[in-house]
Chain A
Amino acid sequence: MTTEHTASAPPATTGGAAPRPDSEKAEGPSPQERKRIERRSRWYRWDLKFSPYAFISPFFLFFAAFGLFPLLYTGWAALHQASMVNPNEMEWVGFDNFSRLWNDEFFWNALRNTFTIGIISTVPQLLMALGLAHVLNYRMRGSMAFRVAMLTPYATSVAAATLVFAMLYGRDYGMINWALDLVGIDPVNWEAGTWTSQFAISTIVIWRWTGYNTLIYLAAMQAVPNDLYESASLDGASRWQQFRHVTIPALRPTILFTVVVSTIGATQLFGEPYLLAGSENGGAQSQYQTLGLYMYETGWFNLHLGRAAAIAWTMFLLLIVIGILYWVLTRLVGKSNGEEA
């Protein structure tokens, strides 16, 4: 483009400056110039029309190749028997993979574990984050230092965090059993028990994500107009009342957002249970095997890719059901609040 302009710029008239089709036209161009201007304005229109598509196409091309196509193909694969040994030879089995899941006690076990670990990791995490954000929202010294400190777990990968916590929770040499011993409690075999192992996994999740959610709540709290608090305190509202009646209602959309994101994260929980003892079955009795881990075991250890695809789709459907549930709940809450006001 650029070279074309400079090479064919009309002598002296516009001094070879930036091409302005309109101003040049006014000077009564020669036939050749008119042709060139026409070509240029055609190029200009073409550029305006198609460059948006050029700008979005890299994203959509990659998304189509590595997102949309695999997504749909997973649905197709879920209807086939496909073995890891020969992944591209698939045999049509209809909904057998799904009906097999229905009768699979390991699937229900994993579903149950995903649910309980999800609850005991998400609920305390978000409550703590809300409280911490409230505290951080006060005027104070070293606020930024606290924020950075609480965000360091976010920099720690699932793998590194789980390795560290697995050692802290170790039966024989772990720091936590040592501390329990100090106060006279017998050592706990954290990994072996159902509740203890799920508790341990939840603490890893809570440790990694509380600081992150705190910052999200803090950002929303800082956007609450100050005069709301001022008028509340003029009305004699205590700090707790202000938190309850000013902060929480203003944060409702943000809270919903974090609940949704945490739910998505909880249904996909994989690395923590995988690395707690480094085995894909989630404990000797599968006591902390999650759906994500069960899918991995099915596909890459038991070599049933079709069944793994069926588990993936089941997880997705589960998310959609939960999403609809949340949507209905928020509508109900919004309605009841509207009636109050």
Chain B
Amino acid sequence: MATAPVITPDTAEELDPPPPGRGGRKRRGGAGQAGGHLRAGWLSYVILIVFGLGSVLPLLWSAIAASHSNARLAEPTPPFWFGGRLFSNLETAWTDAHMGTAMINTIFVAGTITVSTVLFATLAGFAFAKLRFRAKNLLLLLVIGTMMVPPQLTVVPLFMAIAELEWTGQLQAVILPTMVSAFGVFFMRQYLVQALPSELIEAARVDGANSLRVVWHVVFPAARPAMAVLGMLTFVAAWNEFFWPIIALTQQNPTVQVALTGLGQGYVPDRGVIMAGAFLGTLPLLVAFVLFGKQIVGGIMHGALKG
């Protein structure tokens, strides 16, 4: 994976997520021009509109279905516009399907995971990018290797462990195993190799700063754009984490995905409510995508080049 796309430092620099608020538009425009060698024809727009609609319509339809009663959804012709039951369905999903508890739990779980992942990934990424220590390359290789380990390989012992600790159904059972990410370390390392000039660290050291001060005053400011991107990607992943939470948690104290699984298993046999739950569980991320869509797109494209 490390050897995947080969690009020159110049092009990579151009695609770096720009620091928020400062000249982002200009730099992005430059990057677009480098690739946009031809003007799009009308067929291109047709294709993109079709696929764009295909991406958005299922979600829109879930919102429409969420606004109808179960009886209306059982008629031969499905509804194509909003009905009047959206709020009562959302309310039922919120209380009866535990979506309320689930949303609050998930904000806490995903928030904690995001903060710790970004913090530890930045520290380790900085060490791998700029510091000298023994077995560095071997350890970095280990980090890259761990990105390949499938989650199935760890759940049996983890489950035994939380059963022994009597953590089943408690939130720390899903937080602790996910608090660091190998991808995050690698992502931050790749960013800091380029974005953090070694002279800056030297200068701070000459001024007598110890390593903690270097991290606080030099590394964090330089890493901020990448930390924001990693934070967003981590939050999305933590919000949508599925396999381990449905093993470790119960319907009484669920995360969003666990509550949705309950809905899928017929916990509440009302299609309108099921769709209300699905829509509600996606809504926070959709809002984030509307607000930060550009940054998330930039982050994924940036991560792709570095991965």
Do A and B pair up? The answer is: yes
Interface residues of A (CB under 8 A from B): 1, 18-20, 43-44, 47-49, 51-56, 58-60, 62-63, 66-71, 73-74, 77, 82, 87-88, 128, 131-132, 135-140, 143-168, 172-175, 178, 207, 210-212, 215-216, 218-224, 226, 229-230, 239, 253-254, 256-257, 260, 264, 267-268, 270-271, 274-275, 278-279, 292, 295-296, 299-300, 305, 308-309, 311-313, 315-316, 319
- CB < 8 Å A-B pair total: 349
Residue of A nearest to B48 (CB): A146
Q: Is B81 an interface residue (CB 8 A)?
A: no
Is B271 interfacial (CB-CB < 8 Å)? Answer: yes
In the assembled complex, the Cα of A60 lies from the Cα of B278 at a distance in Å of 36
- Secondary structure call for the A interface: helix
B252 on interface, CB distance cutoff 8 Å:
no
CB–CB B52/A146 < 8 A? yes
Asked if A157 and B143 make an inter-chain contact with CB atoms under 8 angstroms apart, the answer reads no
Residues of B in contact (CB 8 Å), total 123
- Given known A-B contacts A18-B208, A139-B39, A222-B35, A157 and B239 have beta carbons under 8 A apart: yes
| In contact, A173 and B73 (Cβ under 8 angstroms) | yes
The 10 A-B residue pairs with the shortest CB-CB distance, nearest first, are: A222-B35, A148-B293, A138-B40, A51-B211, A139-B36, A219-B301, A70-B154, A159-B260, A140-B40, A52-B133
Would you call B31 an interface residue if the criterion is a C-beta within 8 Å of the partner chain's C-beta atoms? yes
B249-273 interface (Cβ within 8 A of A): 256-257, 260-261, 263-266, 271
> Do B150 and A264 touch (CB < 8 A)?
yes
A135 adjacent to B76 (CB under 8 Å)? no
- Contacts of A279 on B, CB cut-off 8 Å? 265
Whether the pair A137, B297 counts as a contact (CB closer than 8 A) is: no
Bound state CA distance, A220 and B52, in angstroms? 21
| 19 CB-based A-B contacts, threshold 8 Å | A44-B210, A52-B131, A53-B133, A56-B124, A59-B120, A69-B157, A71-B153, A132-B48, A140-B39, A156-B240, A159-B281, A163-B62, A163-B264, A219-B301, A223-B34, A257-B307, A264-B148, A299-B155, A305-B160
Not counting A138-B37, A230-B37, a sample of 13 additional A-B residue pairs whose C-beta atoms are within 8 angstroms of each other reads A56-B139, A74-B157, A145-B52, A149-B56, A156-B240, A163-B260, A164-B58, A164-B61, A215-B301, A221-B35, A260-B1, A268-B152, A316-B149
Q: Chain B residues near A136 (CB, 8 Å)?
A: 48
A95 to B175, CA, bound (A): 34
Please report the C-alpha to C-alpha distance between residue A299 and residue B159 in the assembled complex, in whole angstroms: 10
- Known interface pairs A137-B36, A138-B40, A163-B278. Does A70 touch B3 (Cβ–Cβ under 8 Å)? no
* Chain A residues with CB below 8 A from B33, complex form: 139
Which B residue's beta carbon lies closest to that of A58? B120
Indicate whether B132 reaches chain A with its CB closer than 8 angstroms.
yes
Closest to A308 in B: B156
> Which residues of chain A have C-beta atoms less than 8 A from B305's C-beta?
219-220, 223
- Minimum CB distance partner of A129 in chain B: B51
Kindly state the separation between the CA atoms of A215 and B301 in the bound complex, as whole angstroms.
Answer: 6
A62 and B120 in contact, given A138-B36, A155-B285, A160-B278 (Cβ under 8 angstroms)? yes
Kindly identify which residue among A51, A152, A260 contacts B289, using a CB–CB cutoff of 8 Å. Answer: A152
Tell me the complex Cα distance, A312–B263, Å: 27
